[in-house]
Chains A and B, each alone.
Chain A
Amino acid sequence: MIINASTNIIINTFKCGVFVFNCNGATGKSRVAKILASLQATGENYSVVTVINGKLSVYGDVDNSTIVMFDRFDLYVSDEWLDKINSIKSSCTVMLDLKQLEKLNCKYGFVDISMFEDRIELRLI
């Protein structure tokens, strides 16, 4: 699957479920979130939840997207959001930027992210 943007995002396969990014910093997670949010604004079926300027920001319709990304999830992880993830995980790809994995209450895989000059590759494992 290729998501076309100024920096392309290439995902190895489409899978429904919950996938967590690895715990290193500066791998390109927030860049993926920005790209998906900007594509959502042009009508693509993606959603992004993040914190901007201290406020929770939701881009798109989380309940009806093919890809939902929760960026900076450690800042707002809550039972409410975990319930939401559990309710949508069977119908879309949920990607989480979360370091405190013990807070997750569902099965999850991992997102292996590799950043290149012209693209970002995501591998759902």
Chain B
Amino acid sequence: MPLVIYTDINEVHSDKNYVMDCEPYFMKTGISGTNFNKFVLKEIENGSYYSKNYFIDRFGVKLPLESLSTTSKLAMLVNEYSDVIWDLSEAGINIGYVLTRISEGYVLIPKSSIRVYDWGYKDIKVSIDTCGIHFNQLSDFCHYISEVLE
């Protein structure tokens, strides 16, 4: 199953749990030491994994879970709970690059944001569905959202 990206709230299916505010969800979850979460900490926080309740920030300081950016929390939750539709309206544009590493899940990204996300510059293989179209290559997806999506 791919990463399904909705660009309009009206497209979101009501049979799935839709979450707009990730914070309460995240505090119950914690950070597991998966490769993906370590990748998120490196790419978004410029930090590293320490334990379920702490991470190391860009200055080498051990900080509690709640100090993580909302962008990192959202990226980890999208990957962890692939049956939930996550609203990425408040995510930073640097979440795009880590989303391309997720092979399964649901997100809502407003049209105004999806075009300005930093999706990365390498044309890697992806598995993304949006507007009923499946994309296997990042370059095809980026071309679609920048040139075709209205």
Which A positions have Cβ atoms within 8 angstroms of B?
23-27, 30-31, 51-54, 72, 74-75, 97, 99-102, 115-117
Q: A26 with B94: in contact, given A72-B70, A102-B112 (CB under 8 Å)? A: yes
Q: A100 with B94: in contact, given A26-B44, A30-B70, A51-B21 (CB under 8 Å)? A: no
Nearest residue (CB) in A for B95 is: A25
Sampled A-B contacts (9; CB under 8 Å):
A25-B70, A26-B44, A26-B71, A26-B94, A74-B90, A75-B90, A99-B110, A99-B113, A100-B110
Nearest residue (CB) in B for A116 is: B59
A25 x B21 contact (CB < 8 A)? no
B92 x A100 contact (CB < 8 A)? no
A25 x B89 contact (CB < 8 A)? no
Which residues on A sit within 8 Å (CB–CB) of B44?
25-26
CB contacts under 8 Å to A, within B91-112, are 91-95, 110, 112
Which residues on B sit within 8 Å (CB–CB) of A26?
44-46, 69, 71-72, 92, 94
Secondary structure of the A side of the interface? loop
Secondary structure of the B side of the interface? loop
B131 touches A (CB below 8 Å): no
Which residues on B sit within 8 Å (CB–CB) of A54?
21, 23-24
A75 x B21 contact (CB < 8 A)? yes
Q: A25 with B67: in contact, given A51-B21, A75-B21, A100-B89 (CB under 8 Å)? A: no
Q: Which of A31, A99, A100 has the most CB of B within 10 A?
A: A99
**Contact with B89, one of A31, A52, A99, A115 (Cβ below 8 angstroms):** A99
B133 touches A (CB below 8 Å): no
Which residues on B sit within 8 Å (CB–CB) of A30?
69-70
Q: A23 with B23: in contact, given A30-B69, A100-B110, A100-B112 (CB under 8 Å)? A: no
CB contacts under 8 Å to A, within B75-133, are 89-95, 110, 112-113, 116
**10 additional A-B residue pairs with CB within 8 Å, beyond A25-B72, A52-B23, A117-B61:** A25-B44, A26-B72, A26-B92, A27-B69, A27-B92, A30-B69, A53-B24, A99-B90, A99-B113, A115-B58
